[in-house]
Amino acid sequence: MMRRTRSRKKRARIVGLVLLILVLFAGVSGAGALLWWRAQDPLGPANPQDKEDRLFEVKAGSSLQQIARDLEQEGLLKDERIFYWYARLSGNAARLKAGRYLLNPAMDARTITEKLVEGKVATITFTIPEGYHLRQIAEVFAQKGIAEKEEFWEAIQNGSYNVPFLEELPPRSERWLEGYLFPDTYTVPLGTPVEKVIEVMLKRFAQIYDRLPSNNTGLTRHELVTLASIVEGESVLDEERPIIASVFFNRLKTGQRLEADATVQYLFDERKERVLYRDLEIDSPYNTYRNKGLPPGPIGSPGEASLRAVLQPADTKYYYFVARKDNSGAHVFAQTLDEHNRNKRRLGY
């Protein structure tokens, strides 16, 4: 181990000495003083006081000479020749990876080389909360600089994705992929095409879905995700999700309308503080106050807890529930309409 350490130190000294000699002989007499200053720390930063990151792109197929030149032009190197020879003599010339990097002039040539060798590209981290629908996801993509809204919708409707379960979905429409961009926190390289980001989210859905219990509900996957999205929209507490799922299953079995406020909220660009009676009359296949059965598709992206709740609903005889007014997120459940109305009066509705 000691020999290996001494060997590395010796190699570093040789590299530094070669660079020093190169720098000393590279200039002309008029620049002698400047070259001498640079030679004292040939691999040092271009500007130790400037720590403001800037985006630097190494394009695929770029030569070492081109990379070095671009780095100097961006003010990230003191001298492109120093970086060029350091990369070659350190054995890293062919190991620099394409991508977009956040670099600053306070970084020395060693640090910059390490980042390019390790592929530490600039990334974007974004979070999609449970229940978000496509319109809200489009907002997140735009805010994070992943894609403009027009690009997002074009990718949703016309993108090509290598995800097998998509073959089961209904024909493409404006709402295609609704419910299948799994809510989670993602980190992707800056500049990743929007279709690739969407595919990552679709594959995350497939990964989560495949580890869930078997589907013995009698629903197709699309119907199951649709019902899970409604459970997501109506639930706050994880422990209540299986109970709320049971309410909707009980209603489906008896042919009652689901009458889920969340499906009405889906009709608005922004969530309303509360659903009004006139909202219940909106003519839409997504309005479960007017139509029996499930809506045509999901009304948002359900999380794992809601998907699991639909696959494993509680065994109840409940047909109704109403939210408590204590901001707990809890509900009061009832088997009959009379009991439900009493609960509402008791809660102050």
Cα-flanking dihedrals φ and ψ of residue 166, to 5°? -65, -20
Q: Quick one: tokens of 28?
A: 């002309």
CA–CA separation, 235 vs 241, rounded Å?
6
Place of tokens 């229940």: 131
CA–CA separation, 151 vs 102, rounded Å?
25
Tell me what pLDDT residue 54 has. Answer: 87
Tell me what pLDDT residue 166 has. Answer: 94
Tell me what pLDDT residue 273 has. Answer: 80
Tell me what pLDDT residue 37 has. Answer: 46
User: 165 vs 180, 213, 222, 247, CA distance in Å?
Assistant: 10, 17, 10, 28
| Mean pLDDT (whole number) for 133-160 | 95
Stretch among 29-38, 77-86, 244-253 having the lowest mean pLDDT = 29-38
Cα-flanking dihedrals φ and ψ of residue 337, to 5°? -65, -40
pLDDT digits (tens, 9 = 90+) for 283-299: 999 999 999 999 999 99
Q: Which residues pair with 126 in a beta bridge?
A: 186
| Mean pLDDT (whole number) for 135-146 | 96
Q: How does residue 22 score in pLDDT terms, banded at 50, 70 and 90? A: low
Q: What is the mean pLDDT of the chain?
A: 88
CB atoms within 10 A of CB 127: 11
| Mean pLDDT (whole number) for 102-124 | 92
Tell me what pLDDT residue 21 has. Answer: 52
Place of tokens 């999609």: 128
CB atoms within 10 A of CB 322: 16
Concatenating the DSSP letter of every residue in 39-68 gives: HHSTTS-S-TT----EEEEE-TT--HHHHH
Q: How does residue 279 score in pLDDT terms, banded at 50, 70 and 90? A: confident
Q: Quick one: tokens of 242?
A: 């299986």
Tell me what pLDDT residue 227 has. Answer: 98
Contacts 24+ apart (CB under 8 A), 31-35: none
Tell me what pLDDT residue 2 has. Answer: 46
Q: Evaluate whether 241 touches 330 at the Cβ level (below 8 Å).
A: no
* C-alpha angle 291-293-296 in degrees, rounded to nearest 5: 85
- The candidate with the shortest Cα–Cα distance to 323, out of 272, 255, 261, 250, is 261
**What's the pTM?**
0.79
CA–CA separation, 75 vs 238, rounded Å?
53
Place of tokens 């090509």: 160
Q: Quick one: tokens of 281?
A: 């009359």
| Mean pLDDT (whole number) for 90-117 | 92
Q: Over the range 178-200, which residues count as b (16 or more CB within 10 Å of their CB) and which as e?
A: bbbbbbbebebebebebbebbbb
Stretch among 13-22, 103-112, 324-333 having the lowest mean pLDDT = 13-22
Whether domain 2-118 has CATH 3.30.1490.480: the reply is yes
Residues 6+ apart with CB under 8 A from 13: none
Which residue ranges make up each domain of the chain?
Answer: 2-118, 123-210, 221-347
Q: Evaluate whether 116 touches 76 at the Cβ level (below 8 Å).
A: no
CA–CA separation, 347 vs 130, rounded Å?
28
